[in-house]
Chain A
Amino acid sequence: MLMCSSTVLYAQDDLLNELSKQDSAQTVPVTATFKSTRVVNGQSVETMKKKHLDLRISHRFGKLNSGAYQFFGLDQATMRLGFEYGLTDDLMIGVGRSTSQKVYDFFGKYKLLKQSTGARNIPVSVTLFGGTGVATVDKERDFQDKLYYTAQVLVARKFGERLSLQLSPTYLYRTMPDVTGDEKVLFAVGIGGRFKLSKRVSLNGEYFYTAREKNTVTAPYHDSMSFGVDIETGGHVFQLHFTNSLGMIEKQFIGETTGSWGKGDIHYGFNISRTFSFDKKNKKQPN
């Protein structure tokens, strides 16, 4: 009698329900808010996973309005070569070298809070970014005066599969600004986002508002604005973009953007990111 009743009870679908019931109390992390650790120029909330190396090669060409003689900017290229590595799934470090101002940059990035649904509902991801660098171009300067520091709190939310938005309050400190009269301390707020056009292609944009006078003699600067496309192909992510900034590190694109979109000072550029996994432990061969 008992056997009969339970046989009726556990019809096939009920067995599946039984399994999903056991599983219901889980927290589901929201992943891939952005395809890459950069939105365009600026950092995204993403970090490299543990034991994964990101080799980044970034190029910015000259200004589109420089005319046919300069092949619309393509004759001039600046680049940054970066090695960026995940120490844990939440903590990454990176070093880079930029041709522009001959800068060595160093940074760390830590995922403080991860957006999630399910048992634990967290509406946003929060990542902390800290960076420093040495601009070695001016040999006359003391070492101290070549330094700069950046701190950012990156707050992002993935609104469904397609849309992600990010807010990036930024603090920038230059021991010796390049233009006399420019402030050492600069506050800025970045707003960025991506919209997925297809599974592998997304449209990205970002804008950094700087709290200072713009386009003056003491500060001949503009706010940085960039638009781009992310294309992922297996282990690579290609980011192609148009930006009024030449630099690829925070000090330069937030603090020292001299180009103006209105005048056509637009640089074409791209980032190539190639991920390598050094996680041997996990590499078990099913046989």
Chain B
Amino acid sequence: MKPHFYRVACLAMFSTALLSGTAFAQMFATSGGNTQFSASTPLENIEAENKKSQVILNTANNEIAIRMNMREFSFPNKLMQEHFNENYIESVKYPTATFSGKVDKAPDYTKDGNYDVSATGKFTVHGVTRERTIKGKMKIEGGKITISSDFEVALVDHNIEVPKVVFVKIAQIIKVKAQYALAPYKK
């Protein structure tokens, strides 16, 4: 990144912080977001949870970015976790999953309430980027924004191979649940 960017960014953040007493905060973020997925089949429970998902939302222009480290997905069965990282998601080659896009029909962030929302943008998993619109809910309460979403990811869309001969079968469509509680973002 250009140092120029930081300087202006710092200035912007500083000014935002100054203003936040009087005006509504502009940037909301978390680095402890919860993302779970399930690839379970009737035979086997395959579930994992990432408690360190990062999310940042700019309420001024509705841009949103989500990022998570694949190796932070914790499985009850650690051998599954190892195989997830080594064989399926290849987390050394593709360490993160990201989404960067825009909230489509943005709610009034200054008004408390529950809103049905969707976001459209680039969804990247296993090095494969897809343009997607993902539906979710946004809850605004007391200066905090909670985003939740249930969506599906097809393995084939992201070139995630499942070998034909495995004892543990995994679902071809992965169900994802996300829950992110965003607070005003301070550097």
Contacts and interface: CB of A to CB of B under 8 A. Distances in A.
Interface of A: 2-3, 5-7, 9-23, 26, 28, 31-32, 49-50, 52, 161, 199-200, 232-236, 275, 277, 279-280, 282-286
A21 B9 CA distance: 13
B65 A235 contact: no
A90 to B, nearest CB: 13
A5 B83 contact: no
B177 interface: yes
B76 A282 contact: yes
Contacts, number: 128
A7 B38 CA distance: 36
Interface of A is mostly: mixed
Interface residues of B, number: 58
B8 A13 contact: no
B12 A9 contact: yes
A9 B8 contact: yes
19 contacts: A2-B12, A3-B26, A5-B12, A6-B16, A6-B58, A9-B8, A15-B58, A15-B65, A15-B100, A16-B65, A16-B100, A23-B67, A32-B85, A199-B87, A200-B163, A236-B167, A277-B79, A282-B74, A285-B47
A7 B86 contact: no
A243 to B, nearest CB: 25
Given A23-B67, A31-B82, A49-B78, A15 B56 contact: yes
B172 interface: no
A10 B141 CA distance: 24
Contact of A234 (B9, B63, B92, B167): B167
Nearest to B82: A32
A6 B54 CA distance: 20
Given A10-B63, A15-B64, A233 B167 contact: yes
Given A15-B56, A279-B76, A286-B177, A234 B26 contact: no
Interface in B84-124: 85-87, 92-93, 95-96, 98, 100-102, 121-122
Given A23-B69, A286-B38, A286-B47, A277 B12 contact: no
B78 A16 contact: no
Given A17-B1, A19-B56, A199-B86, A12 B63 contact: yes
